[in-house]
Amino acid sequence: MAPKRKDSNPPEGWWYNTRTGEVEHGELSRAIDLMGPYPDEATARRALEIARERTKRADEAEAEWEGEDLGER
């Protein structure tokens, strides 16, 4: 496990660690494992749900642009 970054001026916000499933604030793990920043801990805990919603909307917008009908998924 990579050590968390010790930063006297950490980035603001909350982060979701995709490797551990934990929410982080202040001392952060490797950037490749993080999603965020999010404005608060509760939102960071919903990171995967938020990503799914955004992906669905992007897929629907792309299908509409291409003239396809995705129907219910």
pLDDT tens across 22-58, in order?
Answer: 999 987 899 999 999 999 999 999 999 999 999 999 9
**β-bridge pairing 14-17 and 23-24:** antiparallel
State the DSSP string of 3-41.
PPB--SSPPSSEEEETTT--EE-SSB--GGGEEEEESSH
More confident residue, 71 or 23: 23
pTM for the full model? 0.72
What pLDDT is recorded for position 2? 60
Mean pLDDT calculated for residue range 2-28: 81
Domain ranges of the chain: 14-66
Q: What is the pLDDT of residue 28?
A: 83
Q: What is the mean pLDDT of residues 66-72?
A: 69
